[in-house]
Every structure is written in structure tokens, then in C-alpha cells.
């Protein structure tokens, strides 16, 4: 019985799993922030291109 308790107290595999989980969570947050920043910048770029193309085409003759 004491051997079982001693082995349980010296076992660090649970702590290692928690550390890996925290590292994965931090990496996920960095990836999420990067994708959000890219999407914001891409949207702004597409808006600029649409404006430039629209002004290059001239006024619309519809109506």
C-alpha cells in the first residue's frame, strides 16, 4: 500500500499533460488572433480594390 502511495506522489505525468494542454491553448489563441487580424486586413484591402475598380469604371449609366 505504501508503494502505491509513494508511486502516486512521485508520478508527474498528470502535471506534464496539464503543461502540454496550456501550451496548446496558448498556441490556439495566437493562431486565432492571427487569423482575425488577417481577415480584418484582407477585408480592408478588398474594399480598397473595389473602390479603385469602381472609380476606374466611371459613373454608372443605369437608371
User: Could you report the per-residue pLDDT of 13-34, keeping only the tens digit for each?
Assistant: 778 888 999 999 999 999 999 9
Coil, helix or strand at residue 28: helix
Taking residues 34-49, report their average pLDDT: 95
Q: Within 13 Å, how many C-alpha atoms sit on residue 27's CB side? A: 6
Q: Give the per-residue pLDDT at 28.
A: 97
Q: Which residues of 23-42 are buried (b: 16+ CB within 10 A; e: fewer)?
A: eeeeeeeeeeeeeeeeeeee
Distances (CA, A) of 51 to 25, 42, 44, 48: 39, 14, 11, 5
pTM more than 0.75: no
Amino acid at each position: 500500500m505504501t508503494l502505491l502511495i509513494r508511486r502516486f506522489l512521485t508520478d508527474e505525468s498528470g502535471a506534464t499533460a496539464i503543461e502540454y494542454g496550456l501550451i496548446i491553448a496558448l498556441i490556439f489563441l495566437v493562431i486565432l488572433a492571427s487569423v482575425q487580424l488577417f481577415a480584418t486586413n484582407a477585408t480592408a484591402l478588398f474594399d480598397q480594390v473595389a473602390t479603385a475598380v469602381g472609380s476606374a469604371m466611371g459613373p454608372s449609366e443605369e437608371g
